[in-house]
């Protein structure tokens, strides 16, 4: 990463800790999220937002499209010898992609989230041309991240998302043996 790239990633206030708004399944990974974020010069709350939406903290999550693990990384991002369900490996691939997305978005976290979901190329396209899934991802992710980054103690957007995705968090809670 060049110095000019890191300027995009460190502009403004960047949290060194995880917001309390995230679910217990995400808080479970709190120390790792902070470490992974630091490794890629990312805000841990942006990283937590991605994990919240992608897997709700379930390291064994798999989507119908074939994305895998905590950050729902597509198989082609892994080498043949890597275990995509290993949390550190999955985070390394996911954080690398999020970092590239944030650079392409010139530091705009909402656009970076859209790029994470829809592919970095969507960042340069009008939002009206994005897939509906990517538009929803921007809605959920930007609201959740904004609440976390602004120091809120709860997130109406996260609560709204949870009302639609409770099954995902229930599976994560079971996998992590949380009450």
Number of domains within the chain? 1
* Catalytic positions: 54
Average pLDDT over residues 62-82: 94
Share of the chain above pLDDT 70, in %: 92
Q: In terms of residue numbers, what domain contains 41? A: 3-175
CATH number reported for the structural domain that contains residue 108 in this entry: 1.10.530.10
Cα distance between residue 149 and residue 147, in whole Å: 6
pLDDT at residue 1 tops 50 = no
Tell me, what's the pLDDT at 14? 54
Cα distance between residue 76 and residue 78, in whole Å: 5
Cβ neighbors of 155 (< 8 A, separation 6 or more) are 21, 143, 144, 147, 148
């Amino acid at each position: 990463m060049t110095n000019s790239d890191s300027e995009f990633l460190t502009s403004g206030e960047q949290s060194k800790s995880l917001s309390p708004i995230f679910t217990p399944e995400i808080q479970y990974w709190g120390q790792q999220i902070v470490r992974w974020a630091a490794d890629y010069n990312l805000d841990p709350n942006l990283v937590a937002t991605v994990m919240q939406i992608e897997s709700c903290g379930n390291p064994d999550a798999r989507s119908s499209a074939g994305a895998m693990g905590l950050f729902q990384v597509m198989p082609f991002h892994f080498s043949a010898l890597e275990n995509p369900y290993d949390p550190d490996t999955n985070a390394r691939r996911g954080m690398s992609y999020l970092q590239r997305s944030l650079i392409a978005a010139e530091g705009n976290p909402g656009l970076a989230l859209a790029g994470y979901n829809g592919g970095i190329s969507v960042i340069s396209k009008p939002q009206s041309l994005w897939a509906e899934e990517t538009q929803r991802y921007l809605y959920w992710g930007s609201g959740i991240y904004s609440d976390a980054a602004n120091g809120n103690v709860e997130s109406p957007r996260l609560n709204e998302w949870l009302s639609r995705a409770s099954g995902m968090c229930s599976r994560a809670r079971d996998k992590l043996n949380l009450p």
